[in-house]
């Protein structure tokens, strides 16, 4: 990876240009529209299906209680969080046709969810093909059921989710990437890798580390520094965006997620 502008940087710059008061006005309009529709019910109680509760629970959990306190109009934040505990946290309890051993089916379900969340353009058939390549034969209807149970929309609807995600969590997101520089040293021309973090809302940048060998040991120390309870740069950040570079090791990701910062991989 070099110092030139990467796709991630281009994406962040383009989205940043569209943020601002206009988006807030749109949100306020939609909230008011929901209030008007609720008034039209004349006090009658809304009867939502399990699928509707599941969809609201998935979205509500994602944006957090603070945002729900501002924008939720159909039901209270407590209700949405309760739905999440019942419908999302218990996602493996729904009745579906089992394929093979229970343990194997649980693994396949987790793989389906991971494929869909990490590849927003993949539809049921593409996921089915990838599973087949991994030695798992799963019907497309089963894939659809698993995604629906996890509150994941079809590929055509998920195509816009990346932009929506950035807008919804802009103040809680940081992004990271490497760039490299060639430096003359007594040993000759040496490549130095520079890891930086940027807070998307403030544009504040942080130098996370410089090394000639960005391996497991280096990345493990960086992860500990970033999540330090007193002065870790990622304190207060719920999400860290990074690409699929192998330098972002599993232990690096696990350390951050254990501290409460979720890793978000850029779309393929």
Task: Give mean pLDDT, residues 152-162.
Answer: 63
Q: Tell me, yes or no, whether 130 and 106 share the same domain.
A: yes
Name which of 37, 60, 59, 57 is nearest 49 in CA terms. 57
Bridge-based pairing state of the strands 239-242 and 205-211: unpaired
Question: Is residue 18 pLDDT above 90, yes or no?
Answer: no
Same domain, 151 and 221: no
* pLDDT in the model for residue 140: 82
Note whether 243 and 206 are same-domain residues.
yes
Clarify whether residues 260 and 174 are in a common domain. yes
Rg, C-alpha atoms of the chain: 22
107 and 184 together in one domain: no
Q: How many domains in the chain?
A: 2
Higher pLDDT, 191 or 2: 191
pTM of model > 0.85: no
In this predicted model, which residue has the larger pLDDT, 9 or 176?
A: 176
In a domain, 109, yes or no: yes
Structure tokens at 152: 């994941």
Phi, psi for 183 (deg, rounded to 5): -125, 135
Range in 14-23, 76-85, 208-217, 259-268 the model is least confident about: 14-23
The pair of three-digit structure tokens given for residue 74, joined into one six-digit string: 């159909």
What's the rounded Cα separation, in Å, for the pair 50 and 47?
A: 10
Pair (173, 204) in one structural domain: yes
Full strand arrangement of the beta sheet holding 205-211: 205-211, 188-199, 173-185, 239-242, 262-265
45: left (phi over 0), alpha (psi -120 to 50) or beta: beta
Q: Which of 21-35, 114-128, 245-259 has the lowest mean pLDDT?
A: 21-35
CA distance 94 to 187: 62
Residues 152 and 181 reside in one and the same domain: no
**Does a structural domain hold residue 27?**
no
CATH number at residue 136: 1.10.10
User: Looking at the structure, do residues 199 and 224 belong to the same domain, yes or no?
Assistant: yes
- Tell which of 156, 177, 201 closes a domain: 156
Q: Are residues 182 and 259 in the same domain?
A: yes
55 inside domain: no
The enclosing domain of 246 has a CATH number of: 3.30.420.10
Cβ distance 218 to 211 under 8 Å?
Answer: yes
209 vs 81 pLDDT, higher one: 209
- Mean pLDDT, the chain, integer: 79
Q: Is residue 256 part of a domain?
A: yes
Residue 43 lies in a domain: no
Tokens 């089992």 identify what position?
98
Q: Could you tell me if 196 and 227 lie in one domain?
A: yes
Tell me the pairing of strands 239-242 and 262-265.
parallel
Statement to judge: residues 140 and 180 lie in one domain: no
Domain that holds residue 116: 95-156
Residue 63 falls inside a structural domain: no
Average pLDDT over residues 87-106: 54
Q: End of a domain among 156, 190, 225?
A: 156
**Is 176 part of a structural domain of the chain?**
yes
Strands (E), the chain: 173-185, 188-199, 205-211, 239-242, 262-265
Same domain, 188 and 259: yes
Indicate whether 128 belongs to any domain.
yes
Last-in-domain residue among 123, 156, 189: 156
């Amino acid at each position: 990876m070099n110092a030139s502008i990467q796709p991630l940087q281009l994406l962040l710059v383009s989205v940043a240009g569209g943020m601002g008061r206009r988006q807030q006005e749109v949100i306020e309009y939609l909230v008011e529209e929901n209030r008007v529709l609720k008034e039209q019910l004349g006090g009658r109680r809304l009867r939502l299906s399990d699928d509707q509760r599941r969809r609201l629970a998935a979205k509500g959990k994602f944006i957090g209680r603070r945002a729900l306190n501002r924008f939720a109009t159909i039901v209270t934040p407590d209700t949405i969080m309760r739905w999440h505990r019942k419908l999302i946290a218990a996602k493996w309890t729904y009745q579906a046709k089992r394929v093979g051993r229970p343990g194997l089916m649980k693994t396949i379900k987790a793989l389906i969810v991971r494929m869909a969340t990490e590849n927003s353009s993949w539809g049921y058939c593409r996921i089915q093909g990838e599973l087949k390549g991994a030695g798992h034969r799963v019907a497309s209807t089963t894939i659809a059921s698993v995604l629906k149970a996890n509150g994941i929309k079809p590929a055509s609807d998920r195509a816009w989710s990346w932009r929506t995600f950035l807008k919804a969590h802009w103040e809680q997101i940081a992004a990271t990437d490497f760039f490299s520089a060639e430096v003359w040293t007594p040993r000759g021309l040496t490549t130095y890798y520079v890891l930086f973090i940027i807070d998307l809302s403030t544009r504040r940048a942080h130098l996370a580390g410089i090394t000639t060998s960005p391996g497991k040991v280096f990345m493990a120390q960086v992860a500990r520094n970033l999540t330090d309870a007193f002065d870790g740069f990622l304190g207060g950040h719920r999400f860290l965006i990074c690409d699929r570079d192998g330098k972002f090791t599993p232990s690096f990701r696990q350390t951050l997620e254990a501290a409460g910062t979720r890793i978000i991989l850029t779309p393929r």
